[in-house]
Amino acid sequence: MAELHVFGEKRWMRVVLIGVAVLLLVVMLVAPLVLLFAEAFARGIAAYGASLMKSETLSAIGLTLKIAAIVVPINAAFGVVAAWGIAKFQFPGKSLLVSLIDLPISISPVVAGLVFVLIFGARGWLGPTLSEHGIKVIFAAPGMILATLFVTVAFVARQLIPLMEQQGREEEEAAIVLGASGFQTFWRVTLPNIRWGLVYGILLCNARAMGEFGAVAVVSGQIRGMTMTMPLQILALYQDYDSVGAFAVASLLALLAVVTLAVRRFLEWRYREELGYVGSL
């Protein structure tokens, strides 16, 4: 990229501005990331591996994967369905519906957990009735899945709605006029057009589902080896003064974040035309 300095500032001014910006980025963002891996490997690679192999940590990793395996496909399907209805049709109340889908993103994670405790908790509206029938939602996996669904519900829809709006509906209408069924049209025409936006939305949804802390902390009860996810396990190990253990789990999630960002950059670079607008979350 060519230098753009119409503005007329002096060269030393530019050097100072670049220096301060780089210093800010290194102190605020690079240092925490480097420290994570430095701390995780502080006692060597063997200690790192051993700390990840502890049964409590393994069960936290397992539960995190299980929750993501349930939540991500549901929210991906919801995102596609919602984006089809919202992007391809005009109807009253459309912007209200979009704002409501976005609402969980702007709500405090703790409040996201709280709303489900109010309904399903031991003293909630449905909690006592459900527990009479032996159904446990809060302090168990179902509540954690619900809270994660809530927190990540907008991620795929948010990527697809602007993308599908921008692509219009001429191609789909042509397919329908030529006799294709609705599902054929979606499968052969729409899906190939939105696939990279969908992949990116799924990646973001997955990163958040695996990394969610506040909402899950409120509904899980944090029972060791039972209702702990990876982010909750980080806090538990940290409170046990098991620094290598806590940072080892943290390093796995940090790796997931770095991979998510790298894939995002790659998709933006490779499929710029196809992706059109790429929202940032």
Residue 39 near other proteins by CB under 8 A:
yes
How far is 54 from 125, CA to CA, in rounded Å? 38
Q: How many residues bind other proteins (CB under 8 A)?
A: 103
Give the pair of three-digit tokens for residue 49. Answer: 């591996």
* Three-state secondary-structure class, residue 125: coil
Q: Tell me, residue by residue from 67 to 106, as one string, x for binding to other proteins by CB under 8 A and - for no binding.
A: -----------x--xx-xxx-xxxx-----x--xx-xx-x
Least distance from other proteins to the Cβ atom of residue 46, Å: 21
- Which of 156, 205, 210, 267 lies at the binding interface for other proteins (CB under 8 A)? 210
Nearest CA to 270 out of 209, 170, 196, 204 is that of 196
Q: Exposed (0-12), middle (13-18) or buried (19+): which is 203, by Cβ within 10 Å?
A: buried
**Tally of residues, the chain:** 281
Least distance from other proteins to the Cβ atom of residue 187, Å: 12
Range in contact with other proteins (rule: CB under 8 A) among 43-51, 54-62, 193-201, 259-267: 259-267
Report 145-174 residues binding other proteins (CB under 8 A). Answer: 146, 149-150, 153, 169, 172-173
Q: Nearer to other proteins by C-beta: 213 or 271?
A: 213
Q: Nearer to other proteins by C-beta: 17 or 58?
A: 17
Residue 119 near other proteins by CB under 8 A:
yes
Least distance from other proteins to the Cβ atom of residue 257, Å: 4
Least distance from other proteins to the Cβ atom of residue 78, Å: 6
How far is 126 from 129, CA to CA, in rounded Å? 6
Q: Nearer to other proteins by C-beta: 24 or 191?
A: 24
- Which of 2, 45, 46, 178 lies at the binding interface for other proteins (CB under 8 A)? 2
Q: Nearer to other proteins by C-beta: 93 or 134?
A: 93
Residue 205 near other proteins by CB under 8 A:
no
Least distance from other proteins to the Cβ atom of residue 45, Å: 19
How far is 5 from 24, CA to CA, in rounded Å? 22
Kindly report the backbone phi and psi dihedral angles of residue 226, in degrees, each rounded to the nearest multiple of 5, phi listed first.
Answer: -120, -65
Q: How far is CA 164 from CA 167, 174, 185, 211, 223, in A?
A: 5, 16, 14, 28, 43
Residue 244 near other proteins by CB under 8 A:
no
Give the pair of three-digit tokens for residue 95. Answer: 């912007």
Nearest CA to 68 out of 204, 237, 242, 174 is that of 204
